[in-house]
Structure 1
Amino acid sequence: MGVDVKICGLSDEAAVSAAVEGGASMVGFVFFPPSPRFVSVERAAELTKPVPRGIIRVGLVVDADDDWLADITANAGIDLLQLHGNETPERVHGIRERFGLPVMKVLGVLEVKDVIAAARFEGVADRLMFDAKPPVGATRPGGNARAFDWSLLSDIKTKLPWMLAGGLTADNVGEAVNISRAAAVDVSSGIEDAPGRKNCDKIAEFLAVAAAL
């Protein structure tokens, strides 16, 4: 039956086409300037325009203020906001209400209490993503190509749809899904030749493996 896949950190037309043609359910664009995958609102608008209906265009932000969110939501061609910072449930609710788009809250995971904390976002977020907590001293959020103990998610009780992220590749996504029971996964660094440089062959391979799960 396969699992849904979000290809994140897209910044060029070839990679967007590879994601679309390979069957991605979501395509993600990073609006966080310190990231090597950052795209401007104007560039994102160019990249999202040809994406067919039915594929969700996701905008990743990190503790963004309302002015930045207003620009992104009005001009970048985004269908869903991915909140990858330290947003509280109250902030998530406020963003969802003010900007009228569904939101996906990302939660860093290191131990079981991090998974239990997901309950705080029920009723305010539309989706969740579980990613590895960044290493100490990291300047960017997320797993930074690191995985976490997938078994922590195997008995998750949340009522929200959720995705697994963090260190996934074509070689380990099958094991990750088998252990975590995830119905959807997110990949970025695992389909790159270098940070921010997507490899279209790796995108196609990852999507083919995920479709066969």
Structure 2
Amino acid sequence: MHSPRIKICGLTSPAEAAFCVEAGAHAVGLVFFPKSPRNVSLAKAREITRVLPPRVASVGVFVDATYDTLMATVEEAGLTAVQLHGNEPPELAEALHQQGLTVLKAFYVTAEPGLGSAMRYPSATALVEWGKGVLPGGNAMVWGEKTPSLPRSCPLVIAGGLCPQTVGYIVRRFQPDGVDVSSGVESEPGKKSFKKIQMFTQVVGQIQLPDPIKEPFTNAPTHL
């Protein structure tokens, strides 16, 4: 029996990162996309990653960035993983994986890139959201009632529209390897609520799923 791994995305301060660690998060996400209210500078990102213990992954979120930009940001910000939230080709995901990075690739149930593209990214974790709004990412769009066939050949992370009130239902319904939340644990755009983070991690931590998981945020072996 196990609980899904938890990623808290869109952090903007070291204090938020420290609380996520205390609350039991397995990964935190830092957004490198200027149009996002959660966008961080390289200097701020480095401040955040410095407070993370080795067991907590630091995931940089990018939209159609080049390989050189990605690798430079990884090195300067101290990231251990990258999340590709645009139309990045499979070759880019594989090249990043070959550098020892964990790679997450976003797919959508009701938009492009769709779930059928996931098989083209065998070395990436599939981060699946229901729909696509104005900005890349979940845009707080909740999951519909029609259950899609989700990728299972690679680690699966559910994102988009999650919050302490909805995550329990979603986890029991899809039994993912991990969950990813951003706006659902905020007090305002770009500002995390410590109370909501604690509620979210407690709900997920209480759910026990029957099958061994595939680690979604790290290349380390699965630990139950």
Give yes or no for TM over 0.5. Answer: yes
Matched position secondary structure for 1:57: strand
Q: 2:118: which partner in 1? A: 118
* 1:101 matches 2:101: yes
Q: Structure 1 pair 108/157, CA: closer, same or farther in 2 (3 Å)?
A: closer
Matched position secondary structure for 1:58: strand
- 1:35-91 CA-partner distances (Å, limit 9, x unpaired): 100111111011101101111111111101234213211110100111111112123
Q: 1:160: which partner in 2? A: 154
Q: 1:49: which partner in 2? A: 50
Contact 1:151-1:179 at 8 Å conserved across structures: no
Alpha-carbon distance in 2 for matches of 1:115, 1:47: 32
Contact 2:25-2:56 at 8 Å conserved across structures: yes
Alpha-carbon distance in 2 for matches of 1:157, 1:81: 19
12-21 or 164-173: bigger deviation? 12-21
Q: Structure 1 pair 193/58, CA: closer, same or farther in 2 (3 Å)?
A: same
Q: 2:136: which partner in 1? A: 141
- 1:107-164 CA-partner distances (Å, limit 9, x unpaired): 12217x9323311212xx33110013313xx1x11220112237535x5353111100
Contact 1:150-1:180 at 8 Å conserved across structures: no
Matched position secondary structure for 2:147: helix
Alpha-carbon distance in 2 for matches of 1:147, 1:61: 22
Q: 1:200: which partner in 2? A: 194
* 1:132 matches 2:130: yes
Q: When the two structures are aligned, how many residues end up with a matched partner?
A: 205
In the superposition, the TM-score normalised over structure 1's length comes to 0.89
TM-fit CA distance, 1:10:
0.4
Matched position secondary structure for 1:152: coil
The residue identity in structure 1 corresponding to 2:150 is I
Structure 2 unaligned segments of length 5 or more: list them: 208-224
Contact 1:119-1:158 at 8 Å conserved across structures: no
Q: 1:187: which partner in 2? A: 181
Q: 2:63: which partner in 1? A: 62
TM-fit CA distance, 1:180:
1.3
CA RMSD of aligned residues (A): 1.9
Contact 2:126-2:151 at 8 Å conserved across structures: no
Alpha-carbon distance in 1 for matches of 2:151, 2:28: 27
Alpha-carbon distance in 2 for matches of 1:159, 1:131: 17
